[in-house]
Amino acid sequence: MKLKMLLFLSISCLSACWMPTKPEASLYIRLGGKPILEVISSDLLDATSSDERTKRSFKDVKLSTVKESLTLYLCEKTGGNCIYEGETMKNSHADAKITTAEFELMVQQLRDVLDAHNIGYREKNELLKILAPTKRDIVTPHAFNN
């Protein structure tokens, strides 16, 4: 009887281990979808466009258009069903002469916005990891502010 029970438990354990696991939700879903990305984009751009240290980059920029574009960019990059058809990061920032300091301030502002909306540690880090490579296309080497 003990042998039958042991065999039954072993088979049950093995079959449970071999059962296909449910695929994990995309970062887009875990963040909260397009509604939260719209809020994050809006709050981030409101903060950076009004901060004395970063606002010069937004002079003569239609903020509502940039907010919409950023939302679509984040949606696509996080696994949502959006299609970003805007300029490349390199092209859209080519004339902005953004410094490393300005970029790092914007990253900190993004962290603050994500914290304000209670975005989880894991999701926040995944998003920052996705966005980190944009630095090379956004920052102008040797840029300085007048």
For the stretch 12-39, pLDDT in tens is 555 555 556 777 899 999 999 999 999 9
0.85 exceeded by pTM: no
For residue 6, being part of any structural domain is answered with no
| Mean per-residue pLDDT over the chain, rounded | 88
Phi, psi (degrees; rounded to nearest 5) at 77? -65, -25
Look up residue 76 and give its DSSP letter: H
Strands (E), 2-126: none
Number of structural domains the chain divides into: 1
- As to burial, measured by CB atoms within 10 angstroms (0-12 exposed, 13-18 middle, 19+ buried), residue 21 is exposed
Cβ neighbours around 41 below 10 Å, total? 22
What is the extent of the structural domain holding 77? 22-138
Which helix or strand (DSSP H or E) is residue 77 part of?
helix 63-77
Report the pLDDT value the prediction gives residue 45, as an integer from 0 to 100: 97
For residue 81, being part of any structural domain is answered with yes
For residue 4, being part of any structural domain is answered with no
Report the pLDDT value the prediction gives residue 124, as an integer from 0 to 100: 97
Percentage of the chain beyond pLDDT 90 is 74
For residue 108, being part of any structural domain is answered with yes
For residue 8, being part of any structural domain is answered with no
Segment 126-144 shows an average pLDDT of 90
For the stretch 51-63, pLDDT in tens is 999 999 898 899 9
Percentage of the chain beyond pLDDT 70 is 83
For residue 144, being part of any structural domain is answered with no
Report the pLDDT value the prediction gives residue 67, as an integer from 0 to 100: 97
> Domain containing 75 — which CATH number?
1.10.490.10
For residue 7, being part of any structural domain is answered with no
pLDDT band at 11 (very low <50, low <70, confident <90, very high): low
For residue 129, being part of any structural domain is answered with yes
